[in-house]
Amino acid sequence: MFFLTEQDPNFRIKGSRDPLGFQPIWQTLGREVVKHLSTVSNNIKDFQVLSYAWFFYGDKDPKDFLNFFYKFEQACGFARGKFIPDEAFNGIDFVRKNLTKENLSFSPRNEDTLLSNQKSYGIYGKYNRPFTEMKIKDLENFREVIENSLKEKVDFDDLQLKVNRLLSEPVSTMTFSEIEIFAKMIETLTDREKQFFKDAILKLDGKHVQTELFNLIKNNPELVEAQFKLFEFIEAVIAIGVTDQLKKHLIEIKQSERVLLPFTYLFKTIQSSPEWKKDDIESIQIFESFPDKLDYYFSTPIINSLNRDLAKSNFEKSVATVTRNKDVSDKRGNAAWIKHENGKLVVCYSDGAREVPSFDKEADFDNNYFLPSFISMYKQIMN
C-alpha cells in the first residue's frame, strides 16, 4: 500500500521512507516557490512525450487515452534507448534487454509494458499531475506549436501514419528502423517549443514567486552552474536582491530544514541499535552537531514544536522523535517503529537505520523543496 500525500501524490514514496511524516511538510513549503514540478518530473523529454501523445489523441474520449499512451510511450522508449545516446528514463532497463529484437510489439499487455506498473511508474504516473495543473494541452497555442514543431523536425505524414497504427491497432508491431522517427521527434526542442515550455513550465501567470525565481536565474545564470546545495542556493538568491515575498518563503525553507534534518538523522541513529538507555542516549555524538533552538517562528506548528524540542535534553529530544514517529504511524494505521517504555527506547523496525555521528548543520540537507527539479528543467529548456 502506498502512502500518498496531498502535496505530491505522484512521488509515490513508501511510508517506510518517511517515518517522521516530514514529506508533506517540506512539500507544502516547497510549493510556495515551485508551484507544480515534483521531485520526479524533471525531464523535458518526458513532458514532450506526454504533450505529443495528447496532440495526436486530440478530442477522442479521454477514458481510452491510457491504452493509446501505453503504446506511444513504449514506441518512444525504444526509440530513445536505441537512437538517443546516454538516455535515461523509467523503463530503460526493459528497453536495453530487448534491443536485439527484430520486431517490437507495443500494447497494454504485460509482456510489452516497460515497467511492472507502467501507469504508476512511467511518464503518466510521474508527469500527469504537473502536466494537468499547468494546463499544457489546454493552452491556446498548444496544437499550433506542437504541429509546427513536429513538421520542422520529422516527416510529419510518416509520423502520423505510425501514430495512427498505435491508435487503431490493439497490438502494434514495428522495427527499429520504423520507430527511429520517434527519436527524432523528441531528441531536440524547436525554438517554438522552448518558448512554449518556458511559459508553461518555468514561468507562471499571475504573481507567483516562481516567475521571479525564473527571472533571477535568467539574469544570473551562475546561480545554477554549481552543484545544488540548498542553503548556498538560497543565500545566493537572497543576496542578489528579491521581493519580500520570495525572501520570506526561502528563509522559511532554510530555517525549516535546519530543524527537520537533525531529527531525521537522530531517528536513523536511534534505529541503528536495538535498545537505548537514557545514559546511552545522552552521550551519543550526533547531538554535538545539533543546532540550538532557533529564534524563528514557523508557519508550520509541527516545526515550531520540534524547534522547541531543540532546547530539551538529549534524551528528551530522542523521545520527541520517537513520539513523532508514533503519531505518524498511528495515523497510517501502522505500529510505531520505536517504543519508549520503562525509561528505554526499544527499536522494533530498523529500515533506514544508519548511525550518523555528525553533520554540518549549516550546509547539510535532506529535503530539496523541488528546487533541483526547477533548476533541471530550466537548464534543459533554456540552454
Number of domains present in the structure of the chain: 2
Q: Is residue 230 part of a domain?
A: no
50 and 142 share a domain?
yes
Domain stops at, among 142, 172, 189: 189
Owning domain of residue 335: 15-31+249-347
Angle at 269 between CA 265 and CA 271, to 5 degrees: 120
27 and 48 share a domain?
no
Residue pLDDT, tens place only, 101-130 = 999 999 999 999 999 999 999 999 999 999
91 and 183 share a domain?
yes
Q: Is residue 159 part of a domain?
A: yes
Residue pLDDT, tens place only, 50-97 = 999 999 999 999 999 999 999 999 999 999 999 999 999 999 999 999
In this prediction, what percent of the chain has a pLDDT beyond 90? 93
Q: Is residue 61 part of a domain?
A: yes
48 and 185 share a domain?
yes
Q: Is residue 51 part of a domain?
A: yes
49 and 175 share a domain?
yes
pLDDT at 147 over 70: yes
269 and 179 share a domain?
no
Helices (H), the chain: 23-31, 44-57, 65-83, 92-97, 118-121, 123-133, 142-153, 156-168, 176-186, 191-197, 209-219, 230-240, 244-271, 278-282, 301-309, 314-332, 371-382
pLDDT at 9 over 50: no
User: What is the predicted pLDDT for the residue at 166?
Assistant: 98
Angle at 306 between CA 303 and CA 309, to 5 degrees: 155
183 and 286 share a domain?
no
23 and 61 share a domain?
no
Residue pLDDT, tens place only, 332-369 = 999 999 999 999 999 999 999 999 999 999 999 999 99
62 and 165 share a domain?
yes
Q: Is residue 134 part of a domain?
A: yes
User: What is the predicted pLDDT for the residue at 206?
Assistant: 72
98 and 172 share a domain?
yes
Domain stops at, among 173, 189, 205: 189
pLDDT at 14 over 60: no
Q: Is residue 168 part of a domain?
A: yes
Domain stops at, among 145, 170, 189: 189
179 and 64 share a domain?
yes
Q: Is residue 142 part of a domain?
A: yes
154 and 276 share a domain?
no
CA end-to-end distance (rounded Å), the chain:
40
Per-residue confidence band for 16, with pLDDT thresholds at 50, 70 and 90: low
User: What is the predicted pLDDT for the residue at 11?
Assistant: 39
